[in-house]
């Protein structure tokens, strides 16, 4: 059973960089795509972007200028960096796996709340 676990600081200062890591266990990262998705408190879901096990990426255009994703298959983890954060970036951040069937999100982490505040 694949499991995903997000980790990282729960509080980031405005204009700082939000950095999160997702650890994958119970399965190989190959040949999958891996996404980050966020959810502001009490609101809906927003796709942030994905990274393939090969390292190729695709980002949401709304965040692209501030976003970097990376992957370390030797450690079975992938990461998110979002720069120049504001209060609007406060959200629960989820990592998720794309299914091998077609790309729907079949496994999700429990999510981690990141608050942007001074």
Partner 1 sequence: DIVMTQSPDSLTVSPGERATINCKSSQSVIYRSNKKNYLAWYQQKPGQPPKLLIYWASTRESGVPDRFSGSGSGTDFTLTISDLQAEDVAVYYCQQYYNTPRTFGQGTKVEIK
The reply to whether 36 sits near partner 1 by the rule CB under 8 A is: no
CA atoms of 88 and 1, how far apart (whole Å): 34
Scan residues 68-97 and list those touching partner 1 (CB under 8 A): 94, 96
Give me the least distance between CB of 13 and partner 1, in Å please.
27
- The residue among 101 and 118 lying less far from partner 1, judged by its C-beta, is 101
Rg of the chain in Å (alpha carbons): 13
The reply to whether 103 sits near partner 1 by the rule CB under 8 A is: yes
Among 56, 70, 99, 115, binds partner 1 (CB under 8 A): 99
Sequence-ordered alpha helix ranges (H) in the chain: none
Question: What percentage of the chain's residues is helix, strand, coil (to nearest 5)?
Answer: 5, 50, 45
Contact 27, 73 (CB under 8 A): no
Note the residues at the interface with partner 1 (CB under 8 A). 35, 44-47, 50, 58, 60-62, 94, 96, 98-99, 101-106, 108-111
């Amino acid at each position: 059973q694949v499991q995903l676990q997000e980790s990282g600081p729960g509080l980031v200062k405005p204009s700082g960089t939000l950095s999160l890591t997702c650890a994958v266990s119970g399965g190989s990262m190959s040949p999958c795509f891996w996404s980050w998705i966020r959810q502001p408190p009490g609101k809906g879901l927003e796709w942030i972007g994905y990274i393939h096990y090969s390292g190729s990426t695709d980002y949401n255009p709304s965040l692209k200028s501030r976003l970097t994703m990376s992957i370390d298959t030797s450690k079975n983890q992938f990461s998110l960096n979002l720069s120049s954060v504001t209060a609007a970036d406060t959200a629960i951040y989820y990592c998720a796996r794309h299914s091998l069937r077609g790309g729907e999100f079949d496994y999700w982490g429990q999510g981690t709340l990141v608050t942007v505040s001074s």
